[in-house]
Every structure is written in structure tokens, then in C-alpha cells.
Amino acid sequence: MLYVRPYDEKDKNDFRHICLETASPTSKTEKQKKLLLTLYCDYYTEQEPQNCFALTDENDSAVGYILCSENYERYKDTFNKLYMPKLKKSGLLNFFHGKLDMLSHSMYKKEFPAHLHIDILPEYQRMGGGTALMTALKHHLKEKNIHSLLLAVDAKNIKGVSFYKKYGFSVYKNFIFNYIMTLNF
Ligand SMILES: CC(C)(COP(=O)(O)OP(=O)(O)OC[C@H]1O[C@@H](n2cnc3c(N)ncnc32)[C@H](O)[C@@H]1OP(=O)(O)O)[C@@H](O)C(=O)NCCC(=O)NCCS
């Protein structure tokens, strides 16, 4: 049985583990790990913990997460100030990757100020957890009067794209090798 609950500080290491475990097998050097954790995990748990939810097992251990930034402008300012220097330190490639990732959000910030990342450990996938996490986030955002979401997904990620489409997202734009997918609710 899987459960959804708000993020707790005790989840931080589990979230970092999930972030690395669910990444492409080619992203395994120390530099690549730093990029993944900085860009796709630490900002959210450290700066917007109230917008993060955990998928947990019966021992209350996190086996998946959904992470969200509710406002692009605030995300951009904080990320540039606190996290971009870390990416720069870990190499120019990471720095440019970070900039490109921000650009993919900034182009659509007016219509879609909130964005998300979702990952579940392989052995807990296809059990309804992704759907439950998405619904928890959607309810949470609605209470804050936020009614749309954006995400970027590798166009070759069949599993991810199928999941988002099933949930009601549609492809809004193509951005290099990614689909920018959006949902209004
Ligand atoms: C994508 C992901 C979050 C989906 O979460 P999940 O808990 O596995 O999804 P659910 O069980 O809620 O599935 C809901 C629907 O999504 C679609 N779906 C989920 N996994 C799928 C798969 N492997 N292949 C095809 N469709 C899939 C199905 O339509 C499914 O409904 P169904 O089971 O009734 O057919 C999860 O598989 C995951 O973490 N994948 C690896 C990391 C990743 O790709 N993250 C997104 C990066 S942008």
C-alpha cells in the first residue's frame, strides 16, 4: 500500500536517492549527479518544501515524490542567487544545462508560472502513486488559487509522456529534445 503526505525534512536524503535512481543510467558521474540534485531536487526541498509531497510505503519511507515551484519569478531569482553558483563550480556544462532548463520555463512563465518534477522508484511504479501525487499537488495549488502546471519531459520518455497524457496534460511546445507539457485545472 502506498500513501501520499506532505514533505518532511526527514525525507531529504530519500528524495535525493530517488532523484539519482530514476535518472538516466548515463547520468552517473559525480558532476552529473551534482547537476541532477541541484537542478531537480535540492532547490525544491530547501526553498519550497510546502509545495513538495512524498509517496511513502507502509514504513513511512519515501519511495517517490512530486516537487513543485509555484512561481517562476521567485524560482528564477532564488535559483540564480543560490544554486547557479553551485552549478558553475561543478563545470561549465552544468552551468549551461541549468540556464537552458530555466529558459525552457521562462518562455511560458506568464501562462504557466508553476512547474513540477515527479519521480518514483522503479519497484513502486505503475501502482497509482504518480496519479495520487499529481492529484495531491493539484488540490494544494488550487487552494493557493493556482490553476495550471507546466513540465518538461524528454520526448523519448514514453513512460513519462504516457503518464502525463493519461492525467490530462497535453504537449504545449517542443523545446529542443523535450516536450513542454501543460495542464489547466
Ligand atoms: C512517470 C511516473 C511518475 C508515473 O507514475 P506511476 O505511479 O508509475 O503512474 P500511475 O501508476 O499513476 O499510472 C497512471 C497511468 O500512467 C500511464 N503509465 C504509467 N506508467 C506507464 C508505463 N510504464 N507505460 C505506459 N503508460 C504508463 C498509464 O496510462 C497509467 O494508467 P494505467 O495503469 O491505468 O494504464 C513514474 O513511472 C516514474 O517515476 N517514472 C520514472 C521517472 C520519470 O520518467 N519521471 C518523469 C520525468 S519528466
> Does the CB atom of residue 128 touch ligand 1 within 6 A?
yes
> Does the CB atom of residue 113 touch ligand 1 within 6 A?
no
Q: What is the mean pLDDT of residues 37-43?
A: 97
More confident residue, 28 or 82: 82
Report the nearest-CA residue for atom 22 of ligand 1.
Answer: 159
| Structural domain for 119, as ranges | 3-184
Per-residue pLDDT reduced to its tens digit, 45-85:
999 999 999 999 999 999 999 999 999 999 999 999 999 99
- Global pTM value: 0.97
CATH number, position 102: 3.40.630.30
Give the long-range contacts of residues 100-104, CB within 8 A, separation 24 or more.
100/176, 101/39, 101/152, 102/76, 104/152, 104/175, 104/176, 104/178, 104/180
Read off the pLDDT band of 21 (50, 70, 90): very high
Read off the pLDDT band of 28 (50, 70, 90): confident
Partner residues linked to 173 by β-bridges: 180
Taking Cα atoms as reference points, which of 178, 48, 24, 163 lies closest to residue 108?
178
CB crowding 142-152: b at 16 or more within 10 Å, else e: eeeebeebbbb
User: At residue 173, does pLDDT exceed 90?
Assistant: yes
Mutate to test the pocket of ligand 1, among 159, 178, 183 (most ligand atoms within 8 A of CB): 159
User: At residue 26, does pLDDT exceed 80?
Assistant: no
Q: What integer pLDDT is reported at residue 27 of this predicted model?
A: 73
For the chain, how many structural domains are there in total? 1
> Does the CB atom of residue 71 touch ligand 1 within 6 A?
no
Mutate to test the pocket of ligand 1, among 55, 118, 126, 182 (most ligand atoms within 8 A of CB): 126
Q: What integer pLDDT is reported at residue 128 of this predicted model?
A: 98
- Residue 152 Cα: closest atom of ligand 1: 48
Cα separation, 13 vs 53, in Å, equals 14
Average pLDDT, the chain: 96
Report the nearest-CA residue for atom 17 of ligand 1.
Answer: 163
Q: What integer pLDDT is reported at residue 115 of this predicted model?
A: 98
